[in-house]
Structure formats: C-alpha cells, structure tokens
C-alpha cells in the first residue's frame, strides 16, 4: 500500500515548508503528460508552482485550466510557447471529461517568462515534451534552475550493462527520441547551459519498460480514495482501458524520479546527437553534462506514484 513518502537528503535544497518546489513543462499529445500533471497536483511532497505547455494552443490551455480548476488551483500560472500553433490536444483528452463543457482559452502567459519567474535554484523543473520553453528562457541568459528532470534521450549498449538492457534496444548506441529530436537546437541549448545546476534525463532505454497495466490499475483501486489526485488518475486510466490494455508511463516515471532520485540508477554521461543519423546517444566521459537513467526500481516508482 502506498503512503506518505519522506523527503530525501538529495532534495532538501528544494523543500519549502516541507514540500518540493516544482514546475511542469508538458505537452498533450500523449495521455501520460496529463497523468503527470494530475499526479503532481496531488502528491503530498510537491508544491506545483507553475505549468508551461508545448506548443500551448487554446484547446490545450482551456483543458489544462479546467484541470487546475478541479483542484482549486486557480493560482497556478500557465505559460505557452506558441498560442497560434495548430490544435494540439489529442482526442483521448476529450474523452476524459466528456460530460463536461471545456472551452478553449487564450488565458496564458509566455512560457519563457513563466519559467524565468518561477524557476530558481530551489526549484525542480520536470519536462515531458520538447524543450522549447526552456530553451527560450535560457536564451535570455537569466534562467536559474536547481534541477532539471527531463523525459527523453537514450543510453545504449556502451552505457547500459547487458543485464539491464531492454530487448528492443539491444545492439544500439543511438536511437531516435521525440522530445529531443523534435527540436534538437532547443535540446542542445539546454544541454550546454551552465545555469542549470543538475540535469537528469529519464531516457527511453528505461521508460519504454515502464508500463501501467490492468494489474497496476487494480493496485491503484485499493488506495485511490485517499486523495483527489489518485481518484483522477484512476478515472483517466479507466477511460484509457476502455480501448487499450496497457499504457507506457514515460512522464510519470520522470516526475517520480524528480521526487525520489533513488528510483533510478544513473550514469554520468555526455548526451549527444549523431549529426548523420539525427539519433541521440550517450557517452561516459570525464566531463559529463547530464546524468542518464539506466535502470529503475519498480516498487519505489509505484510507491511514489500512489503516495498519499
């Protein structure tokens, strides 16, 4: 059974009044970003200060603001990268609250300005999408951030021990990765920036093995009534299971690692893009620019995900 998770010594610098100061940068092409938002809104160790969206279209803004309203978090600012981009809310999201009226909205700030205001050296930024908002904030030269935990990247056979490799990635040292590959210039800006003290990447060599199943759903059923957040996640996944039987949980893993780094096993690496293939990989080196995940503890992950 999940319960309250005590703060760890490696997150003490991010605690204010006993809660981790966090900001979420997200997209809405995949349901697990939205699950991550709901998770962070209700986790007992987290104070979510702000949300930024990529690209940040009116359909996305309206939907996210509706979710914040459900939690009575009208105080959370919403920032966007490009409010005039084409509609970016997936059809699945429209099924979650299908009996509710959710109107589009343009009530949002510039995403980079939100990050500049709400990120500092006591803040953890969780990124579940392309790093456009972060890169734009960095370009000002003013962004200060204590820890970045981003979903994306890849660690291959040259980094991951044989016994820890997912079968689908055996034999690879590089691999396409959406969140970095969709805007590699933004990714490079983030990787090269010295104003972020710590950078952790929860890469596909691990997160592709993290799956929410019907068995996971049954486990959540036992504790869901302990918090609004858990109830909402249970509802979202119940809707999802009307058509499919399991869901990769990439972004929730990243968010849980942001709360408890010991969920993951990490290696110091240089994260890079192969210029010829445009695929991403990692190299162990003496001057690393990130820590990348090579394995995870499933029980710790679920205990953090279902904490109340």
Q: Is 153 left (phi over 0), alpha (psi -120 to 50) or beta?
A: left
Report d(CA 124, CA 259) in Å as an integer. Answer: 9
Report d(CA 147, CA 120) in Å as an integer. Answer: 9
What pairing do the DSSP bridges indicate for beta strands 46-53 and 78-80? parallel
Sign of CA dihedral 59, 101, 229, 217: negative
- In DSSP terms, 291 is beta-bridged to 200, 268
Confidence at residue 2, expressed as pLDDT on a 0 to 100 scale: 61
Tokens of 163: 């016994």
Q: Could you report the per-residue pLDDT of 209-226, keeping only the tens digit for each? A: 999 999 999 999 999 999
Q: What is the mean pLDDT of residues 57-78?
A: 98
Report d(CA 132, CA 159) in Å as an integer. Answer: 27
Nearest to 291 by CA among 211, 200, 220: 200
Q: Could you report the per-residue pLDDT of 287-303, keeping only the tens digit for each? A: 999 999 999 999 999 99
pTM: 0.97
**19 lies in some domain:** yes
Q: Give the helix ranges, DSSP H, for 167-227.
A: 178-181, 184-192, 204-207, 214-223
* pLDDT above 90 for 24: yes
**135 lies in some domain:** yes
**8 lies in some domain:** no
Give the pLDDT band (50/70/90) at residue 188. very high
**5 lies in some domain:** no
Q: What is the DSSP letter of 241?
A: T
**245 lies in some domain:** yes
Report d(CA 6, CA 155) in Å as an integer. Answer: 30
Confidence at residue 3, expressed as pLDDT on a 0 to 100 scale: 65
Give the pLDDT band (50/70/90) at residue 1. low
**39 lies in some domain:** yes
Q: Which residues of 200-230 are buried (b: 16+ CB within 10 A; e: fewer)?
A: bbbbbbbbebbebeeebbebbeebbebbbbb
**3 lies in some domain:** no
Domain total in the chain:
1
Q: Which domain CATH number covers 143?
A: 3.90.245.10
- Structural domain boundaries, residue 220: 15-306
Residues 6+ apart with CB under 8 A from 61: 53, 78, 80, 83, 104, 105, 106, 107, 108
**288 lies in some domain:** yes
Beta strand spans in the chain (E): 15-16, 19-26, 46-53, 78-80, 109-110, 124-127, 145-151, 174-175, 196-202, 211-213, 246-248, 264-273, 280-283, 290-296
Q: What is the DSSP letter of 262?
A: G
Is 304 exposed, middle or buried (CB count within 10 Å of its CB: 0-12, 13-18, 19+)?
Answer: buried
Furthest C-alpha separation in the chain: 55
Q: Could you report the per-residue pLDDT of 109-163, keeping only the tens digit for each? A: 999 999 999 999 999 999 999 999 999 999 999 999 999 999 999 999 999 999 9
Report d(CA 161, CA 288) in Å as an integer. Answer: 19
Q: What is the mean pLDDT of residues 251-273?
A: 98
């Amino acid at each position: 059974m999940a319960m309250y998770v005590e703060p760890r010594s490696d997150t003490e610098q991010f605690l204010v009044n006993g809660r981790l100061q966090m900001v979420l940068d997200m997209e809405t092409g995949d349901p697990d970003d939205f699950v991550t938002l709901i998770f962070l809104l209700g986790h007992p160790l987290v104070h979510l200060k702000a949300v930024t969206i990529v690209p940040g279209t009116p359909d996305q803004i309206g939907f996210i603001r509706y979710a914040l309203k459900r939690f009575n978090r009208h105080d959370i600012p919403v920032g966007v990268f490009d409010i005039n981009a084409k509609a970016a809310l997936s059809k699945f999201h429209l099924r979650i609250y299908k009996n509710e009226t959710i109107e589009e909205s343009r009530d949002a700030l510039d995403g980079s300005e939100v990050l500049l205001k709400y990120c500092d050296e006591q803040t953890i930024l969780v990124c579940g999408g392309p790093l456009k908002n972060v890169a734009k904030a960095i370009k000002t030269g003013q962004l200060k951030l204590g820890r970045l935990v981003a979903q994306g990247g890849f660690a291959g056979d040259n980094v991951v021990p044989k016994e820890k490799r997912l079968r689908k990635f055996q034999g690879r040292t590089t691999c396409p990765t959406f969140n970095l590959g969709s805007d590699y210039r933004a990714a490079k800006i983030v990787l090269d920036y010295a104003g972020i003290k710590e950078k952790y990447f929860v890469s596909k060599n691990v997160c592709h093995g993290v799956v929410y199943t019907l068995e996971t759903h049954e486990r959540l059923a036992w504790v869901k009534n302990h918090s609004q957040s858990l109830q909402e996640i249970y509802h979202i996944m119940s809707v999802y299971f009307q058509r499919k039987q399991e869901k990769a949980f990439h972004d929730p893993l990243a968010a849980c690692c942001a709360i408890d780094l010991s969920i993951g096993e990490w290696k110091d690496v240089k994260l890079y893009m192969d210029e010829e293939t445009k695929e991403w990989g990692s190299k162990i080196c003496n001057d690393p620019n990130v820590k990348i995940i090579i394995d995870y503890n499933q029980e710790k992950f679920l205990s953090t995900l279902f904490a109340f």
